[in-house]
Structure 1
Amino acid sequence: MRDAATTTSGAWRIDDHEAVTFRDAAVAWALAAHEVLAETATGYGHFVTVNELAERVQDMSGVKTDAPTRTWMDAILRKVARRCHSAGEPPLTSLCVKQNHKVSDSYKYVLELAALPIPADLELHAAYARWQCYVAHGSADPNDFGIPPLTPKVAATRRGTAVASAFAPVEPKPEATREVLCSQCFIQLPANGVCEYC
């Protein structure tokens, strides 16, 4: 059972239930997150959700928290992004997605670190970043370059949109009305066909 000090700090070691400062916990979680994401990159098309990553880093680091995942995982992903950027590694944080399989807002930090603008299609950008991770960790052949795979839910949504638009009723285009001109003065004739100027 945790004591009052553990509850106050928000994080504790699993083995002895001793309180851990959140700063020390974040360092341990970031190291574990980098390792989990690097392992994930060894399988082509693999990814992990934020909640799965949160559970795995707590188990791997031996440091737990009862704080909601949304309150601390963004900081962990930013630490991993900085480490990857500093080491010249592909952005492993692209392998971490929300439950809907889309990258979280923290993925934009990867672009910020690289001084890149936010692309119109953030999911496609993340797919290319994941592909770089797969290549760097030996699960993809760099000569096999095509369009990197989107996560399943994102791909299904896009296929659904494409299918829906393919079966959407086509609005008939209004027929272009041909202007009838007077053969003498070349002014458009009124509906009765009699030129008012000639």
Structure 2
Amino acid sequence: MSDAGAAPEDPIDLEAWRTANELSVPFSEALDLWAVAAHAALVELAGRYGAFMSNAELAARAQADVGIATRAPVRTWIAALQRRVTDRCQAADEPPLVSLMVAHDHTVGEGYAYAVAAAGLPVPANLDEHAAAARFACYLHFGATVPAGAGPQLTPKLEEARRAAAAKASRIKPTKAVAKGRVVKARPAAEPRTKAPSARPTKAAAPAKPEPKPKLCPNCFTQLAANGECGFC
């Protein structure tokens, strides 16, 4: 589908047959019958708050309930089935039950985009958040027991992905500093350099020579002059 919200076209050259006798069934006729079964299954599902179903599960159930099978990959015809379910919801003035259908990664696809457009609404950029509100409307419409204070919720895989992205963003720290219009990497402050001790042995300091004892006069015991003469005797 090229335009968001455009009606998905029926696939061509796909085979379907009745499981009871293996008689071939035109694929468009098979889709019409599967849509009736799928709508009934989704109404039942909407009666349980928080419930949703994968495209593959719903496709298998519709084939089993109708007794018409195909070997064509579900991805090649699920949007055409969703278009028929949406048309039934529009005719019955029901909220879009295709919001309860998700791919293996819990996202909604082009079939839900068509449901939004069919309701006369602009197709949002984030289909999954829009589908969360639509699922909540389905629970209310079809009588699910909704807890007090409950509201629209993303599917578990999408909610977990959102939490992981938020946690990753909170762990990111700035590693660059801006200076004079230029972006430069912030560097840690340099530590003062210390001179490594030399491996060579150092010479021990020579001991200081003792001061010579003063010479005293043998008569008056006063210190003699440098020439050995007493200045008092």
TM interval, shorter chain, is: 0.7 to 0.9
Higher helix share: 1
User: Which residue pairs with 1:153 in the alignment?
Assistant: 157
Aligned equivalents of 1:15, 1:63: Cα separation in 2: 8
What is the aligned residue count?
169
The gaps in structure 2 that reach 5 residues or longer are 1-12, 182-233
| Partner amino acid, structure 2, of 1:14 | T
For 1:176 and 1:38, how far apart are their aligned partners in 2? Answer: 64
- Normalising by structure 1, we get a TM-score of 0.78
Find the counterpart in structure 2 of residue 164 from structure 1: 168
2:46 paired with 1:26? no
Per the alignment, in what secondary structure is the counterpart of residue 117 of structure 1? coil
Instruction: Give the secondary-structure state (helix, strand or coil) at the position aligned to 2:79.
Output: helix
Deviation per CA, 1:62-95: give whole Å up to 9, x if none.
1101112122111110000111012110100000
- Residue matched to 1:131: 136
SS in 2 for 1:103: coil
Percent of aligned pairs with the same amino acid: 40
Q: After the TM superposition, which segments of 4 or more aligned residues of structure 1 sit over 2 Å from their partners? A: 143-147, 170-177
* 1:9–1:19 CA contact under 8 A, matched in 2: no
Unaligned runs of 5+ in 1: 1-7, 178-198
Separation (CA, whole Å) in 2 of partners of 1:161 and 1:65: 39
Of structures 1 and 2, the larger Rg is shown by 2
Alignment match, 2:90: 85
What amino acid is the match of 1:56?
Answer: R
Query: Is residue 2:79 matched to residue 1:74?
Result: yes
- Superposition pairs for residues 58-69 of structure 1, below 5 Å? 58-69=63-74
Contact between 1:42 and 1:137, CA under 8 Å: does it hold in 2?
Answer: yes
Matched letter for residue 161 of structure 1: A
Two-structure CA RMSD over aligned residues (Å): 2.2
